[in-house]
Amino acid sequence: MTNNIEPISTAAITDLQLIAYLEGTLNDAEKRRIEAALLDDESIEQALEGLAMLPPSDIKKIKHQLSSTLQKRIHRNEKRKLVRFTWKDALPILIVLGIAVLGYLFLRTIK
């Protein structure tokens, strides 16, 4: 009989996810992921314990600060995205330049 249990990834548990776990706003799959991470990684467990000891007002401040920092990084990364320039984009320019050069050479030979 095969075991159909999927492994739960414990990578990249964020502070915002831990705060949501404490607030009880996660769905069941996310809760299981956090709980698996707590069993696997002692530092995540310590972070959760530290957050649990803070007063709710401090948790709100931390949550707001983390959210605003994340939004700034996302906005900054969107600005950094380079426009991909492909041959499809260059083809009309090359055609126009080619016609211009051929026209110049044709007019030069007529004179």
Q: What is the pTM (predicted TM-score) of this model?
A: 0.52
55-108: per-residue pLDDT in tens? 888 888 888 888 888 888 888 877 676 677 787 888 999 999 999 999 999 998
Q: What is the DSSP string of 43-90?
A: HHHHHHHHHHHS-HHHHHHHHHHHHHHHHHHHHHHHHHPPPP--HHHH
Classify each residue of 3-26 as buried b or exposed e, where b means 16 or more C-beta atoms within 10 Å of its C-beta: eeeeeeebeebeeebbbbbbeeeb
